[in-house]
């Protein structure tokens, strides 16, 4: 990519990756044909489709684009998640809760580390144990069993997104009442609960810290539309933040991005709700630096952080960025931004970003999805040409990012 001046026009959001993957897993809870609309065409969805197919589920796209997932009867489904697929996508662990709830057993390969460090699943397992599951570990595989799941009061040590989702999907078919305290509050949790309720579950409080589930005996197939991807929205907000101009992000839900919009406002990016979604405009010469700390929702998401670091790299002043969600600090992309001339000092989970007037284009490498997006954003204003390798990371989470950026006037090409 090369700088191409200010952005203008409109970009339409895809469905949220981090919701779609969990909704797909949730279909394991009931026999029949489920219909999910607005599921993005991205690699992670393909991996989840492969995983479900390997279990005996029929997954295909309808002519209108909806994803149809047909769950066979109990006898025809194999409740196993093999290593080859779990290793390609750690989020595969969210099949554990629904498999235990519907089949009373599951074999799931243990996820390993990834480019931003090991991500433990102790909270998932402790919560499922409280519901009555037992686990054996051998040869890198979790053997899970639960003759009967029983409702329980679970307090999470930390509002983990994945643990909240796994427990929610196990609790809907457990006997009695489950209360999940210190639950994650991300919009994707409320989306999952809405789908589960559509299937016949009784979930209350999703989106708050206390989620209450009244177990039911059985669930049925359902239809649901995935919420828009707020991280993708943030990517285009960052793009207009660095390049300037005025764009509409169609489908964006500003109520899912309150804290981010507030931060961006302090940096000089004007963001407002419009009937199509969100309007954003940077009229000033450069963004202004601010300090940012990531936190569980409704705080600034850790997935926005690389985008914010890219914006701060070319802002006026100094911003201190603090990672509070992941123990490993997720700053692998900083060395790449430094190659482009960014002035960033790292100290444990902090990054001190001193804005520079100009970045310079360079070959850089995307270490993961969000970091890759941040490098693309930086490339939009780096003098000369920037080549981001490792673009397969982008495909895991973004449906045709290059084309969408071209649509708002950027000079980006996928090679
Ligand atoms: N954690 C534990 N034990 C657990 C579970 C989590 O210690 O049993 C820790 C993690 O190590 C981490 C923190 O708790 O330090 C938060 O992890 P969480 O479980 O909330 O994250 P996740 O469910 O694994 C999802 C998203 C991530 C996003 C995080 C945080 C999906 C598929 N992934 O991961 O998104 O960064 O929540 O918001 O929903 C991405 O989209 O690129 C991505 C990585």
User: What pLDDT digit, counting tens, does each position of 219-234 carry?
Assistant: 999 999 999 999 999 9
79 CA to centre of ligand 1 in angstroms = 23
From the CA of 165, give the closest atom in ligand 1. Answer: 23
Cβ contact 162:124 at 8 Å: yes
Question: In which element (H, E) is residue 382 found?
Answer: strand 382-383
DSSP letter at 13?
Answer: P
Q: What is the pLDDT of residue 187?
A: 98
Ligand 1 center to 233 CA (angstroms): 19
Q: Is the CB of 302 under 6 A from ligand 1?
A: yes
Q: Rounded to whole angstroms, how far apart are CA atoms 214 and 233?
A: 34
Radius of gyration (Cα) for the chain, nearest Å? 21
What mean pLDDT comes out for the span 317-329?
91
Task: Determine contact, residues 161/185, Cβ cutoff 8 Å.
Answer: no
Measuring from atom 16 of ligand 1, which residue has the nearest CA? Answer: 160
Atom of ligand 1 nearest to the CA of 121: 8
Neighbour-count burial for 140-176, b at 16+ CB within 10 Å, e otherwise: ebbebebeebebbebebeebbbbbbbbbbbbbbbbee
Cα separation, 109 vs 93, whole angstroms: 8
Question: What confidence score (pLDDT) does residue 118 get?
Answer: 55
Mean pLDDT of the chain: 96
Indicate if ligand 1 lies below 6 Å from the C-beta of 123: yes
pTM score: 0.97
CA–centroid distance, residue 296 to ligand 1 (Å)? 10
Phi, psi of 246 (to 5 degrees): -145, 120
If you take atom 11 of ligand 1, which residue's CA is the nearest one? Answer: 119
383 ligand 1 Cβ < 6 A: no
Ligand 1 centroid–CA 183 distance in Å is 13
- For 12-24, what is each residue's pLDDT tens digit? 999 999 999 999 9
Ligand 1 center to residue 157 CA distance, Å? 13
Structure tokens at 265: 């406002």
Average pLDDT over residues 264-269: 97
CA–CA distance, 35 with 67 (Å, rounded to integer): 6
Lowest mean pLDDT among 82-96, 173-187, 198-212: 82-96
Residues 396, 166, 324, 249, Cα dihedral to 10°? 50
Q: Which residue has the higher pLDDT, 113 or 258?
A: 258
Residue 74: the pLDDT is: 87
Q: Among 297, 354, 307, 299, which Cα is nearest to 333's?
A: 307
Q: Is residue 294 pLDDT above 50, yes or no?
A: yes
- Band of residue 284 on the pLDDT scale cut at 50, 70, 90: confident
Instruction: Return the best residue to mutate from 119, 188, 303, 395 for the ligand 1 pocket (most ligand atoms within 8 A of CB).
Output: 119
| pLDDT reported for residue 116 | 45
> How many whole angstroms from 135 Cα to the centroid of ligand 1?
22
Residue 207, Cβ neighbours under 10 Å: how many?
A: 18
Q: What is the pLDDT of residue 113?
A: 56
Is pLDDT of 65 > 60? yes
For a substitution probing ligand 1, which of 160, 185, 369 has the most ligand atoms within 8 Å of its CB? Answer: 160
DSSP string, 18-31: HHHHHHHHHGGGSS
Q: What spacing in Å lies between the alpha carbon of 314 and ligand 1's midpoint?
A: 29
Q: How would residue 111 be classed by pLDDT, with cut points 50, 70 and 90?
A: confident
Which one is predicted more confidently, 118 or 102? Answer: 102
Distance 259 CA to ligand 1 centre (A): 19
CB 278 within 8 A of CB 271: yes
Nearest CA to 308 among 273, 259, 366, 347? 259
CA distance 67 to 40: 10
Q: Answer yes or no: are the C-beta atoms of 395 and 44 closer than 8 Å.
A: no
Using alpha carbons only, what angle is made at residue 121 by residues 116 and 122, rounded to the nearest 5 degrees? Answer: 130
Output the residue whose Cα is nearest ligand 1's atom 7.
120
In sequence order, what are the beta bridge partners of 61? 67
Residues 210-242: b if buried by 16+ CB within 10 A, e if exposed: ebbbebeeebebbebbbbbbbbbbbbbbbbbbb
Which residue from 330, 376, 337 is spatially nearest to 355, judged by alpha carbons? 337
Q: Is the CB of 230 under 6 A from ligand 1?
A: no
Residue percentage of the chain with pLDDT more than 70: 98
- 162 Cβ inside 6 Å of ligand 1: yes
**pLDDT at position 155 over 60:** yes
Helices 17-26 and 187-198, packing angle to 10 deg? 30
Q: Is 222 in the pocket of ligand 1 (CB under 6 A)?
A: no
226 DSSP assignment: P
Residue owning the nearest CA to atom 19 of ligand 1: 160
Q: What are phi and psi of 195, to 5 degrees?
A: -65, -45
Tokens at residue 128, please? 């499922």
CA of 6 to the centre of ligand 1 (A): 35
DSSP letter at 381 equals T
pLDDT of residue 329 exceeding 90, the answer is no
DSSP 178-204: EEEES----HHHHHHHHHHHHTT-EEE
Answer whether 326 contacts ligand 1 (Cβ < 6 A).
yes
Best residue for ligand 1 mutational test, from 162, 190, 230, 373 (most atoms within 8 Å of Cβ): 162
């Amino acid at each position: 990519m090369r700088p191409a001046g200010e952005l203008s026009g409109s970009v339409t959001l895809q469905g949220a990756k981090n919701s779609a993957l969990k909704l797909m897993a949730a279909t394991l809870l009931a026999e029949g044909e489920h219909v999910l609309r607005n599921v993005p065409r991205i690699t992670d969805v393909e991996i989840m489709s492969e995983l479900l197919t390997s279990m005996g589920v029929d997954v295909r796209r309808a002519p209108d684009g909806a994803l149809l997932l047909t769950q066979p009867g109990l006898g025809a489904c194999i409740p196993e998640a093999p290593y080859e697929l779990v290793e390609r996508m750690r989020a595969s662990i969210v099949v554990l809760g629904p498999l235990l709830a519907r089949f009373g057993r599951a074999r799931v390969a243990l996820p390993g580390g990834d480019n931003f460090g090991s991500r433990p699943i102790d909270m998932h397992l402790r919560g499922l144990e409280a519901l009555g599951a037992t686990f054996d570990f051998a040869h890198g595989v979790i053997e899970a069993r639960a003759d009967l799941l029983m409702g329980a009061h679970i307090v999470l040590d930390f509002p983990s997104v994945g643990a909240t989702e796994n427990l929610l999907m196990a609790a809907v078919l457990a006997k009695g009442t489950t209360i999940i305290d210190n639950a994650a509050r991300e919009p994707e949790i409320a989306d999952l609960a809405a789908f589960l309720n559509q299937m016949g579950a009784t979930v209350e409080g999703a989106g708050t810290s206390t989620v209450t589930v009244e177990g039911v005996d059985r669930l049925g197939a359902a239809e649901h539309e995935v919420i828009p991807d707020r991280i993708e929205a943030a990517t285009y907000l960052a793009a207009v933040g660095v390049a300037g101009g005025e764009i509409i992000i169609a489908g964006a839900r500003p109520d899912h991005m309150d804290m981010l919009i507030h931060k961006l406002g302090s940096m000089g990016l004007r963001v407002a709700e419009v009937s199509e979604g969100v309007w954003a405009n940077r009229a000033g010469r450069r963004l202004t630096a601010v300090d940012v700390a990531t936190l569980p929702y409704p705080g600034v998401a850790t997935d926005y952080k690389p985008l914010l670091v890219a914006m701060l790299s070319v802002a006026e002043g100094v911003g201190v960025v603090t990672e509070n969600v992941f123990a490993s600090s997720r700053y692998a992309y900083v060395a790449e931004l430094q190659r482009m001339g960014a002035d960033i000092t790292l100290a444990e989970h902090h990054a001190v970003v001193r804005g520079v007037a100009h970045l310079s284009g360079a070959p850089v490498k995307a270490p993961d999805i969000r970091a890759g997006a941040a490098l693309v954003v930086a490339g939009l204003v780096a003098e000369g040409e920037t080549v981001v390798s490792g673009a397969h990371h982008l495909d895991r989470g973004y449906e045709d990012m290059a084309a969408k950026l071209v649509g708002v006037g950027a000079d980006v090409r996928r090679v």
